[in-house]
Amino acid sequence: MPRPRILSGMRPTGALHLGNLMGALDNWVRLQDQYDCFFTIVDWHSLTTDYADPGPIRENILEVACDWLAAGLDPSRSTLFIQSLVPEHAELHLLLSMIVPVPWLERVPSYKEQQHQLSEKDLSTYGFLGYPLLQTADIIIYKADAVPVGEDQAPHIELSREIVRRFNNFFGPVFPEPQTLLTEAKRIPGTDGRKMSKSYGNAVYMKDGPEIMRQKIKPMLTDPARKRRTDPGDPDKCPVFDLHRAFSSAQSQAWAAEGCRTAGIGCLDCKARLIEHMLARLQDVHARRPEFAERPDTVWDILLEGSRKARAVAQVTMDEVRAAMKISYPRP
Ligand code: SF4
């Protein structure tokens, strides 16, 4: 029996950080055992917000792909591809745009939120409004059974389901409704205590080696109550402890919590133990990454092969879609 199919994607923002690893990638690696996985680098999506200054998308794609492969995404089990190399996504996006009422897109929570958060950019564009529609096309063109997402993305999948129902209602049952595969949210703070994010400049990257990691973690913000070594602290108020929760053994977490509350350890001791665990967790990633980073042609070959496989699936779906929408005729 074929395994259920899932699809998920990441924008080509460049090297991935530990928030990306623990919030999504780690889960994707595990999902490969159970699902027929399609993972895509969504380059068109990055243009929905960064059209005025797209940055080095080509180089960023390579960085993301190296991190994916170093983390353990396996091209012999999963289809790894670039969105824009499967132009059928754009065709399906266009066809869906014929049937989706504009208010459905305007009411997606992230539409107003991101316009507010990114107020320095003009996001009153057609492409930005249509971003969840393009995302729907990305998913349903592969007839994905489910989409692994965090809670913040769940409304987008709900919208995808509504769009599928509307499409199937007009044109017949072409698409299954994709389900949400909720990824448990782990809080991964950056070095300043805010959510880890490239744009905040507080990120620790997957490829950061021991020296860079020490340089970033040592000055990291801690519980402000611990002004002196002798002041007891509260691990629940400390972002370093959030990282212990994500990376350290239960034994080290208990050691850090007890030592913090009793002022039995200093923050530098606590951070040194954390760094050991982080480096142990990243050992395989660090061992594998140079194999790919030093052979960019091999990485591109993997992405091109994945894009070919993905395109073959997307083309079959588009034949069905065109037939259902009565625009199926001989093609030049
Ligand atoms: S001892 Fe550890 S948990 Fe406590 S404040 Fe310092 S760094 Fe944070």
Report the pLDDT value the prediction gives residue 120, as an integer from 0 to 100: 84
Q: Which residues does a 6 A CB cutoff place in the pocket of ligand 1?
A: 222-223, 226, 233, 235, 238, 240-241, 256, 260, 265, 267, 270-271
| CA nearest ligand 1 atom 7, residue | 267
Ligand 1 geometric centre to CA of 223 (Å): 6
Ligand 1 geometric centre to CA of 185 (Å): 22
* Backbone CA torsion sign across 229, 232, 234, 235: positive
The residue whose two tokens read 């990691």 is: 213
Ligand 1 geometric centre to CA of 270 (Å): 6
| CA nearest ligand 1 atom 6, residue | 267
Ligand 1 geometric centre to CA of 206 (Å): 23
Which ligand 1 atom is the nearest neighbour of the CA of 226? 5
pLDDT digits (tens, 9 = 90+) for 262-311: 999 999 999 999 999 999 999 999 999 999 999 999 999 999 999 999 99
> In the structure encoding, which two tokens stand for residue 154, read together?
């769940």
pLDDT digits (tens, 9 = 90+) for 231-244: 999 999 999 999 99
Which ligand 1 atom is the nearest neighbour of the CA of 220? 7
Ligand 1 geometric centre to CA of 233 (Å): 7
pLDDT digits (tens, 9 = 90+) for 117-141: 888 888 889 999 999 999 999 999 9
Q: Which positions ≥6 away from 49 have C-beta within 8 Å?
A: 114, 118, 121, 123, 128
Report the pLDDT value the prediction gives residue 50, as an integer from 0 to 100: 84
State pTM to two decimals.
Answer: 0.94
| CA nearest ligand 1 atom 4, residue | 260
Is 185's pLDDT higher than 80? no
CB 1 within 8 A of CB 118: no
Q: Which residue from 226, 237, 248 has its CB within 8 A of the most atoms of ligand 1, so it is best to mutate? A: 226
pLDDT digits (tens, 9 = 90+) for 42-52: 999 999 888 88
Ligand 1 geometric centre to CA of 150 (Å): 28
> Whose CA is closest to 135, among 198, 259, 42?
42
- 79 backbone dihedrals φ, ψ, rounded to 5°: -95, 110
Alpha helices (runs of H) in the chain, residue ranges in sequence order: 18-20, 26-31, 43-50, 57-71, 88-97, 102-106, 109-117, 126-129, 131-140, 154-171, 210-217, 239-247, 250-261, 267-281, 283-293, 296-324
